[in-house]
């Protein structure tokens, strides 16, 4: 097992397969940005499989495919099938904006992807266009319908809540999720890159109290995917609400994850700059034992916590470059 110096077991890898995206969400990537990683620096499918296999041998059984927008990576279901068959792989999931999901849902399900997290910040076309750079609401809704038709369960909706932008839509999103049997997760904006630092932050604590009263929700101890969300459920168990609150109530003491970017850089904390480049090892003939030792050494560098409140402008890389 991978245990860091603070006694946390690391069993979750978030794997970015591309830093490209077909949207420009205001909190993630600047409008007009084109400073993407060169394709020759991307890890190949063989390299990705080798790294994930090394993590799996070290006890990391949860992998989430992220981006950018992961469905822009050609033949992603082929990679997913390869990863799902690795010994020790317990859970393979995908984060997506769902604009391409209608075409790929069936292939992803057949490839062994277990669960989906889908970004949806608004149910209003004009607002989606403001947040994401263009109106893709109909594409996202079609992707959600395709995912449900393929039997994906659960499907989580991720709503990044921004004051004065979409915070007045939280109740509508709750009712939409109830109607369609989605899990809704509200997320505080993180100050990552200039885009995240310029986006407004809304403390979700009072929002959660209000929603709990309005919809008669009770805290839930149910574990849903190994991530950082805290959950509440309706008393009949038919609806689940999650919250990811890295600013108002951080979860660093139980952090169990690291992130691998498309160029093979292993980031140890979303809110810090600690990292290790694995691509040079992969392309210089390192043995599996050397690769595993490099991963162990990297985990020993994982910091205790982020400093989003203390140093909100510390992390200058964009979220899309780090990987979900």
Tell me the residue range of the domain where 311 lies.
2-322
Between the CA of residue 198 and those of 122, 131, 194, 271, what are the distances in Å?
A: 19, 13, 6, 16
Q: What integer pLDDT is reported at residue 294 of this predicted model? A: 97
Length of the chain: 324
Structure tokens at 236: 């009949």
pLDDT of residue 245: 87
How would DSSP label each residue in 246-268? TTTS--GGG--EEEE-TTSEEES
Judge contact between 101 and 58, C-beta under 8 A. Answer: no
The CATH number given to whatever domain includes residue 91 is: 3.20.20.70
- The span from the CA of 115 to the CA of 151, in Å, is 10
- The pLDDT tens digits of the residues spanning 238-259 come to 999 999 987 887 778 889 999 9
In this structure, what are the phi and psi dihedrals at residue 161, rounded to the nearest 5 degrees? -90, 125
Sorted by sequence, the CB contacts under 8 Å of residue 141 that are 6+ apart come out as none
Q: How many structural domains is the chain composed of? A: 1
Give dist(CA 204, CA 246) in Å, integer: 10
β-pair partners for 14: 64, 259
pLDDT at 48: 98
Query: For the whole model, what pTM was predicted?
Result: 0.92
pLDDT the model gives residue 166: 96
Taking the chain (324 residues) in runs of 10, the rounded mean pLDDT of each run is 94 96 87 84 98 98 96 98 98 98 98 97 97 97 98 96 96 98 93 58 91 96 78 95 86 89 92 87 97 96 71 56 66
Report whether 89 contacts 67 (CB < 8 A): no
Of 85, 61, 91, whose CA–CA distance to 1 is shortest?
61
What is the layout of strands, in order, in the sheet containing 115-119?
Answer: 217-220, 230-234, 240-244, 183-188, 155-161, 115-119, 91-96, 62-66, 12-16, 257-260, 265-267, 275-277
């Amino acid at each position: 097992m991978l245990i860091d110096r603070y006694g946390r077991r690391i069993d979750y890898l978030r794997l970015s397969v591309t830093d490209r995206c077909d949207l420009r969400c205001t909190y993630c990537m600047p409008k007009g940005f084109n400073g993407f990683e060169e394709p020759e620096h991307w890890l190949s499918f063989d390299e990705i499989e080798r790294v994930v296999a090394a993590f799996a041998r070290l006890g990391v059984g949860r992998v989430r495919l992220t981006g950018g927008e992961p469905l822009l990576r050609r033949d992603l279901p082929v990679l997913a099938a390869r990863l799902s068959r690795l010994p020790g792989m317990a859970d393979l999931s995908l984060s997506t904006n769902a604009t391409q999901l209608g075409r790929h849902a069936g292939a992803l399900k057949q490839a062994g992807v277990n669960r989906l997290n889908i970004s949806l910040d608004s149910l209003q076309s004009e607002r989606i266009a403001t947040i994401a750079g263009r109106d893709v609401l109909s594409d996202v809704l079609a992707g959600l319908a395709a995912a449900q038709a393929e039997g994906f369960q659960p499907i989580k909706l991720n709503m990044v809540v921004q004051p004065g932008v979409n915070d007045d839509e939280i109740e509508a999103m709750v009712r939409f999720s109830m109607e369609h049997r989605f899990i809704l997760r509200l997320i505080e904006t993180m100050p990552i890159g200039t885009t995240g630092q310029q986006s407004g932050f809304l403390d979700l604590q009072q929002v959660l109290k209000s929603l709990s009263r309005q919809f008669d929700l009770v805290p839930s101890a149910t574990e849903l995917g190994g991530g950082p969300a805290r959950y509440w459920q309706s008393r009949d168990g038919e609806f689940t609400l999650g919250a990811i609150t890295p600013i108002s109530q951080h979860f660093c003491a139980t952090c169990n994850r690291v992130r691998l970017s498309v160029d093979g850089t292993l980031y140890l904390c979303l809110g810090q700059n600690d990292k290790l480049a694995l691509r040079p090892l992969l392309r210089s003939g390192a043995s599996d034992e050397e690769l595993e030792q490099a991963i162990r050494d990297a985990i020993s560098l994982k910091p205790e916590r982020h400093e989003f409140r203390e140093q909100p402008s510390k992390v200058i890389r964009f979220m899309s470059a780090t990987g979900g």
